[in-house]
Amino acid sequence: MKKYNLNTADAKVNHYIQSKNVIYLRTQNKNKYQIHEDNGNYKAYTEHDYLNSLNNRRLLRTWEKCRSQVKVAPHLPEIIKVIIYENTFDDLEKLVIQSHQESCTSSINSRTIQQLFSKMKEISLLLNRELDADYWSELTDFFQTCFSLQILNESFKRCSKGH
């Protein structure tokens, strides 16, 4: 861990680690922060924010209920597989959009959804919540499949027009 002493108007930061496009900060009063780079914009989303996010809890709980069907879907005929993915996406769509709006300022698309789920997975690992981290990984895979099946395109067009 590289250690830096940075003085800002808000806090004295004495620990700093950078990995990929994420900067981890720990202040002298032991608060931990993550700052994510997204095209030059930084957004801090802390463990506290993660723990207090009702949207994230609902999203993970809904995924927990739907995941068994999604895991079986690839072994079923294509038409049934698509129906399962569409139904699961319908269950998750509103929660994903709300979670994205809660933690990100950028517009919603496949890349920002992947960044969101990656960010949530990193935070859950920092909090030693391995099951949450596994669910975030599964959600990433599920949404990648939905994008490849073009299930999400219409939904995000509606979302963009609504905002």
The answer to whether residue 1 sits within a structural domain is no
pLDDT in tens, 98-118: 888 887 777 788 888 888 898
| pLDDT confidence tier of residue 151, bands split at 50, 70 and 90 | confident
State which residues form the domain around 35.
Answer: 6-44
Q: Which residues face 27 on adjacent strands?
A: 13
* Band of pLDDT at residue 39, cut at 50, 70 and 90: very low
Q: Give the residue among 149, 140, 154, 153 at the shortest CA–CA distance from 82.
A: 149
Q: Are residues 21 and 69 in the same domain?
A: no
**What average pLDDT score do residues 88-98 get?**
91
Please state the pTM of the whole predicted model.
0.68
Residues 33 and 65 in one domain: no
Q: Provide CB contacts within 8 A for 31, sequence distance 6+.
A: 11, 46
Three-state secondary-structure class, residue 95: helix
Rg (alpha carbons) of the chain, rounded to whole number: 18
User: Is the same domain home to 35 and 89?
Assistant: no
What is the rounded average pLDDT for all residues in the chain? 76
pLDDT at position 61? 95
What pLDDT sits at residue 28? Answer: 62
Both 54 and 98 in one domain: the answer is: yes
**pLDDT (tens digit per residue) in 50-80:** 888 888 999 999 999 999 999 999 999 999 9
| 115 within some domain | yes
Is residue 14 within a helix (H) or strand (E), and if so which, with residue range? strand 12-19
Tell me how many domains the chain contains.
2
Residue 35 lies in a domain: yes
Q: Which pLDDT belongs to residue 8?
A: 46
Q: How confident is the model at residue 157 (pLDDT cuts 50, 70, 90)?
A: low
Q: 108 with 69, same domain? A: yes
